[in-house]
Structure 1
Amino acid sequence: MSRTLSPAGRVAMVSEHASPLAALGGPDAGGQNVYVAQVARQLARKGYRVTVYTRRDSTGLPDRMTLIDGVQVVHVPAGPPAPVPKDELLPHMAEFGAFLARQWAADPPDVVHAHFWMSGLAALTGTRGLGIPVVQTYHALGTVKKRYQGADDTSPPERLAIEEAVGHECARIIATCSDEVAELRAMGLPEDRVTVVPCGVDPDQFAPSDRPRTLPGGRRRLLAVGRLVPRKGFDRAIRALAGIPDAELLVAGGPEADLLGAEPEARRLHAIAGEYGVTDRVTLLGGVGRTRMPRLMAGADLVLSLPRYEPFGIVPLEAMACATPVVATAVGGQLDTVVDGATGVLVPADDDHHHLGAVVRGLLADPDRLGRLGAAGRERVLAHYTWDRVADGVARAYGAVSSMPSLSEVVR
């Protein structure tokens, strides 16, 4: 069908469980929320008009609100107006998609960008018969989750089939790293419709600090950041700490600090710290706000990012932007972002805590090397991983499947 495009290009983003307005650190709030918010902001600054559709999870939310000039957030009535774990949202996607269909039949965007597999399902429902191209970013793949979690995977049993169907039906897939491209290929999805655009970081928000890193008494600070779930590997960092006697470990993530006592993973980590005799050197901070996180990153000697698997992983980028070296497991997007020996050190995902401890001890004993790694990390972020560069890549993917104006036309 033929449509007249808006002068700047109109983008609809669908992010069914990950609102750009959400506080981070909860079980379903993390990197996807950051990605959606930042890419929407950058596209708006380039002249595009962006509407983000996310599920209403509270009765107090307005139907529509402004994130910044050029970015609107629409709260879609789909399921109860209350928090629902993302793995329980599939039954509400038909209602979500029907809402999108009504909206877009009356006022169609130029392109739809779906985030996560259920958003892809809702987006394809909403665009059916309208001729609007859908670009899909999975952020995490069910095949990978099933491989690593097995019987502990709480995803709906329909997930794998729906993910594959979405990949075949959408106009383009944006993968965030080379490892994801290999996973998509293994799913039988057409590689010629896959574009790699990484996640990013704000280098003005996450920046080096002039404050000395070493704590009073000569103790060194290690930092681990992420959702408080077993796959993030905080237990490995705690076990390794037993072999690093002059260091403390801060773990940032999860609910607010005064609620950690009711968090199963927090209790498990406290028990491991007791077992390894490091309770006095491990601090679970709970959820940390975005304004405080850069100071934590910049004040650490090392950031440990040790997930068993990771679709992309923004934490290493944030650390590198702060000129803080990273010790990371060689999985997912960390294989792309962390250059082993240049911006940090990669360790095997199944590495034992004794070797991990030795790696960390060696780095802490060489301040000159830490300085070189940190400086190279900052340079790498500025060259490849700013949100402005990410938004340029996303916009090119949109242009490949739609008649949206090019970036040069938008900024004229």
Structure 2
Amino acid sequence: MRVALVSEHASPLAVLGGVDAGGQNVHVDALARGLADLGHDVRVYTRRDDASLPERVPLGPRVEVVHVPAGPAREVPKDALAPYMDAFGDWMARDWERTGTPAVAHSHFWMSGLATLRAAAALDVPVAHTYHALGSVKRRHQGAKDTSPAGRVAAELSVGERADLVVATCRDEVDELVRLGLDPARIQVVPCGVDVTHFRPLPPARRGRAAGAARGGGALLPRRRQPHRLLVVGRLVERKGVDTVVRALAAVPGTELLVAGGPPADLLAADPEACRLVALAEALGVDDRVTLLGRVEHDDLPAVIGSADVVVATPWYEPFGIVPLEAAACGVPVVGSAVGGLLDSVRPGVTGLLVPPRDPDALAAALRPLLADPVRRRALGQAARRRAVRTYAWSQVAQRTAALYQTLALPADALLAGPAAVPALTEVAV
């Protein structure tokens, strides 16, 4: 099957860690490769943001990235890209006519949905859509700080109504979409995935050396200075709630915090959120127990995760959240906010713990007994690894996604004979 994945701002070729580069980039990259492993031919359409980029770049066997000339050939904040989506869709339709029409197009993010529906209408291509984040949720939590275009929520509803299928990443998103006005019968849940081969528990002999082995932002990961280590991984943006962890640290003695993410280490001093976190740590008297690593390379991340006793993920809200899956695959328990995708990916008392968002006291109360109980931490981590392999491996996610594509690509008379079998994802696709 020929598949078009459309991700207007989140290229699988992008360097992760920037304000607009994160989980969606990982998702599109891994899904494209997973579909190709199943024998499908995949093209990923993303906006050209650099004049030097070639039109087509191979990503792997049976996968290529296509850079669409829509808007200026330079970096543009994603919230300013909506005016270029008509041009994106028109160019993509012409490309499909020249190089072969896909059996299915799968748009990622609301602006990609606008472009994809425009291209698909001209060629009668069925469209699946994944939001990755919802404007209604962003506005609820960020208020006046939300930089989304004024018409985003209405456009998201229009995309969902016009797409042939909406692929949500978690059950909480389904609730949000139904509240938005979408028909739940047209929504299927397929979660994000994790590379369970790359992210895996460190051998016991390496765990003790991990702190000196991995590189974060070009510098050796510091050796442990406290009995316990917490780790936060993610972009340095306020909604990720890293400040909640810094505040909780004041009530969790004998514990250090590493923060992996953001710009390279030598640029942290110019990053507003990094400066805010450093100032907060100094004000709370925990600056000697907080280390900002800056960007950590993908190859080094499993060792960084493996050096921690607990990975903490406390965003204000989270459409899905890749980091809890990466920690789980590494066999490290997660203490996270009870929001969004974490309600699915973390099973309280089984693979980790959940606490209310933006509540440092509740976070500290959860961390203290967990850090004091290595047997419990080990049990949670082992269960998390088993569940990651069983439920969230990209091979499973790609298989289920491809089965949904097939139901869209089948002719009407075949659908009357009965839907294609869509393999269930244990515990998640409910």
Q: Does 1:168 align with 2:156?
A: no
Q: Distance in 1 between matches of 2:246 and 2:358?
A: 15
Give the counterpart letter for 1:240 in structure 2: A
359 and 12 in structure 1: CA distance in 2 versus 1, 3 angstrom threshold: same
3-state secondary structure, aligned to 2:299: coil
Q: Which of 87, 94, 112 matches 1:95?
A: 87
Could you tell me the TM-score, scaled by structure 2's length? 0.90
The answer to whether the 8 Å contact 2:241/2:358 transfers is no
SS at match of 1:332: coil
Asked if 1 retains the 8 angstrom alpha-carbon contact of 2:79 and 2:149, the reply is: yes
Q: Is the 8 A contact 1:116 1:139 kept in 2?
A: yes
Q: Is the 8 A contact 1:104 1:127 kept in 2?
A: no
Partner of 1:377: 384
Letter in 1 for 2:409: S
Unaligned segments of structure 1, at least 5 residues? 1-8
2:116 aligns to what?
123
CA contact (8 A) 2:244 2:358 kept: no
1:203 aligns with 2:196: yes
% same residue: 55
Instruction: Please give the secondary structure, in 2, of the residue aligned with 1:162.
Output: helix
Q: Trace 1:245-394 onto structure 2 (pairs within 5 A).
A: 245-351=253-359, 353-394=360-401
Query: How far apart, in 2, do the equivalents of 1:96 and 1:52 lie?
Result: 13
Distance 1:171 1:267 in 2: 45
SS in 2 for 1:168: helix
* Paired residues for 1:9-24 under 5 Å: 9-24=1-16
Which of 119, 141, 157 aligns to 2:134? It is 141
Q: How many residues align?
A: 399
Contact 1:40 1:71 in 2 (8 A): yes
Q: CA deviation at 1:280?
A: 1.1
The answer to whether the Cα contact below 8 Å between 2:234 and 2:240 also exists between their aligned partners in 1 is yes
In the TM superposition, structure 1's runs of 4+ consecutive aligned residues that sit over 4 Å from their partners are 213-218, 404-408
Aligned to 2:107, what secondary structure does the other structure show?
Answer: strand
1:403 maps to a residue whose letter is L
- Alignment of 1:32 onto 2:24: yes
Aligned with 1:291: secondary structure?
A: helix
8 Å CA contact retained: 2:318, 2:339: yes
Tell me by how many angstroms 1:328 deviates: 0.3
Q: Secondary structure at the match of 2:353?
A: strand
> Which of 220, 225, 234 does residue 228 from structure 2 map onto?
220
Q: Distance in 2 between matches of 1:216 and 1:92?
A: 48
| CA deviation vs aligned residue, 1:23-51 (integer Å, no higher than 9, x gap) | 10000000000000001001101100000
CA deviation map 1:176-207 (0-9, x unaligned): 00000000101111111101000010111001
The CA deviation at 1:376 is: 0.4
| Secondary structure of 1:24's aligned partner | coil
Is 1:151 matched with 2:158?
no
8 Å contact kept, 2:7–2:108: yes
Q: Is the Cα–Cα contact under 8 Å of residues 93 and 122 in structure 2 kept in the other structure?
A: no
Within 1, Cα distance between the matches of 2:272 and 2:57? 35
- The one-letter code sitting in structure 2 at the alignment partner of 1:203 is V
2:226–2:256 contact (8 Å) kept in structure 1: no
Q: C-alpha displacement at 1:122, in angstroms?
A: 0.3
Distance 1:80 1:254 in 2: 25
Structure 1 residues 407, 189: CA separation in 2 closer, same or farther (over 3 Å shift)? closer
Structure 1 residue 105, shift from structure 2 partner: 2.9
Query: In the alignment, does 2:62 pair up with 1:70?
Result: yes
Deviation at 1:60, TM superposition (A): 1.6
The alignment status of 1:56 with 2:63, answered yes or no, reads: no
1:84-115: CA deviations, max 9, x gaps? 11001111111111101211233211000000
Structure 1 residues 207-216 or 53-62, which shifts more?
A: 207-216
Whether contact under 8 Å (1:19, 1:54) holds in the other structure is: yes
Residue 81 (structure 1) aligned with residue 89 (structure 2): no
- Return the alpha-carbon distance in structure 1 between the equivalents of residues 77 and 67 of structure 2: 17
Shift of 1:358: 2.3
Q: Which residue does the alignment assign to 2:220? A: none
